Amino acid sequence: MFEDYAQLQSHVLCAQDFEVLAQTKIDDALFAYLSGGSGQEHSLKRNLDAFNEMTLTPNSLENVADGNSHWHYQEQRFSAPIILAPVAHQTLLHADGERACAQAAEALEQGMVLSTLSGYSLEDVADAANGWKAFQLYAQPRQQDSFDLIHRAHQAGYQAVVITVDAPVQQVSLQARHLGFKLPPEKPINLRPYDDLPTPKIKPDESYIFQGIMAQALNWKTLQNLMDYSRQLGLKVWVKGVLDPKQAQKLQTMGADALIVSNHGGRALDSAISSLEALPTIRQSVGPEMTLLLDSGIRSGQDIFKALASGADAVLVGRLQAYALGVAGALGVAHLLKLLTEELQLTMALCGCSNLQDIRMINLGDNNDV
C-alpha cells in the first residue's frame, strides 16, 4: 500500500487514519471482527463517548521546556506510557504478525503484551525483538498447561504475565458473524504442545455455558495459584479486565503487581461500564502507589492524557495496533506509537504538564464526572 515511510507519514496524520485505511485494505468480515464488540455494542460505544465527553483546561504559561513523556516501571524506562495490548491472531492481519509489533515496540522504546492466541509462538516473538514484553495468559482448563505456558514465557525472557480474567466466555461481534467470519480452525500455536482435552459431556438438562465452559474457568483459588507460581519465577503479575473497586482491592491483597482497568474493548460483558468511568474509584480504592493501566477506547494521544489525568499510570492500545499492523506491518505500528506519543506530548504542553506526574496532579474540574 505504501512504498516507503515518507509516503506512510504523508497519508497517516493521526492514529485514526489507520482505521480508515484498514477498512479499505482488510476483508469486511475480518474488519468487523476487529472493530466490533459483543452484544449490542453498548460498551464499545460507551468507551469512546467517555473519552470524547471529557474536557480539559488549558494551562499555557507554565515552563515545560524540560518536559518529557517517560514512564518508569520497575527498572524499565518507556518513552511514553503506551503498551501494545494483547490482540489475538495477528497473522490474519499481516504476515509478520506479532513479530512486527514486538519490533515496533522495541524501536520506539515501548512495551508489548503478547496474546496466548498469537499467530507466532511466544518463543518466536521473543526472538524477534529485545524490548520489554509481557505474556498474556488465558488460563487453560488444565492448570498444569497454564503453569507450562508461564514457565515457557519466563524461559523466553518475558518480564511479566498478564492474566486476563474478564472473558472466560465471549461473543464475537454480531456483524462479523453475519458476514460469515470464522476464527482459524487450527489449535493456536502456543497451545499445540498440550494434549486435547476430552470434550465435556453435557447432560440434556445442563447448560453448555455453565457446565461446559464455566466449569473450567478461572476462579479466585486457581487465579491465586497462577499468581503464586508466576511470582516464584520472578515474573511480575498483572491482572487484566478489572472494573470493580472491590475486586481491585482483593487482587491487590492477593499480590498483583498491576491491574489493567479494561472492559476488553467492549468485547466481553456488554453494558459494562467504560474503563474511563470506572478508573477514578478504582484508583481511590487501591491508593496512589498501585500500578494501574487502562485500556478500552484509546484512539488518540489526548485520550492517553485523559486516562492519566483520571488515575492511570499507562495505557494499552488494542484496535489501533491491529489497524496499523494491517495497513503497514512493523512500520505502521511504529508510526502509530510515534503519533500517539507526539499527541500526548502536545496535550501535555498545552495543559502545562512537563512530566507524567504533573498529569496526575491535574484538577479535572466540575465538567467531568468520570
C-alpha distances (whole Å) from 48 to each of 150, 224, 294, 306 are 33, 33, 13, 12
Cα distance between residue 292 and residue 284, in whole Å? 11
Residue number, 92 or 309, with CB nearest to ligand FNR: 92
Report in angstroms how near the CB of residue 10 gets to ligand FNR at its nearest: 25
Instruction: Please identify, using beta-carbon distances, which residue of 64 and 317 lies nearer to ligand FNR.
Output: 317
Q: Please identify, using beta-carbon distances, which residue of 64 and 336 lies nearer to ligand FNR.
A: 336
Regarding 84 and contact with ligand FNR (CB under 6 A), the answer is no
Question: For residues 305 and 351, is the Cβ–Cβ distance under 8 A?
Answer: yes
209 close to 169: Cβ distance less than 8 angstroms: yes
Given 89, 154, 264, 335, which residue is catalytic? 264
Residue 115 found at the interface with ligand FNR (CB under 6 A): yes
The minimum distance between CB 315 and ligand FNR, in angstroms, equals 8
Stretch that binds ligand FNR, among 62-70, 86-94, 101-109, 216-224 (CB under 6 A): 86-94
Of 64 and 134, nearer to ligand FNR (C-beta) is 134
Asked whether the beta carbons of 81 and 314 are under 8 A apart, the reply is yes
Query: Hey, what amino acid is at 172?
Result: V
Interface residue with ligand FNR, options 96, 98, 295, 358 (CB under 6 A): 295
Judged by CB under 6 A, which of 84, 298, 307, 324 binds ligand FNR? 298
Residues in 136-155 at the binding interface with ligand FNR, rule: CB under 6 A = 136
Q: Is 274 in the site for ligand FNR (CB under 6 A)?
A: no
86 is in an annotated binding site: yes
Q: Tell me the site size for ligand FNR, rule CB under 6 A.
A: 23
Q: What is the Cα–Cα distance from 349 to 358, expressed in whole angstroms?
A: 11
Place of cell 465435556: 200
Nearer to ligand FNR, 64 or 312 (CB): 312
Instruction: Tell me the backbone φ, ψ of residue 341, rounded to 5 degrees.
Output: -65, -45
Among 38, 103, 110, 262, binds ligand FNR (CB under 6 A): 262
Out of 165, 259, 322, 333, the only residue in the binding site for ligand FNR (CB under 6 A) is 322
Q: 138 a known binding residue?
A: yes
Is residue 297 near ligand FNR by the rule CB under 6 A?
A: yes
CB 341 to ligand FNR: min, Å: 16
DSSP assignments along 223-274, one per residue: HHHHHHHHHHTT-EEEEEEE--HHHHHHHHHHT-SEEEE--GGGTSSTTPPP
Question: In degrees rounded to 5, what are phi and psi of residue 72?
Answer: -105, 125
End-to-end Cα, the chain, rounded Å = 40
Is the CB of 62 or the CB of 169 nearer to ligand FNR? Answer: 169
User: 102: which DSSP letter?
Assistant: H
Least distance between ligand FNR and beta carbon 163 (Å): 9
Torsion of CA 354, 104, 88, 91, to 10 degrees: 160
313: cell is 499510570
Q: How many CB atoms lie within 10 A of CB 284?
A: 12
Q: Which residues are catalytic?
A: 264
As annotated, the binding site for FMN includes 86-88, 115, 136, 164, 240, 262, 295-299, 318-319
User: Binding residues for ligand FNR, per CB under 6 A?
Assistant: 34, 47, 85-88, 115, 117, 136, 164, 240, 262, 264-265, 267, 295-298, 317-319, 322
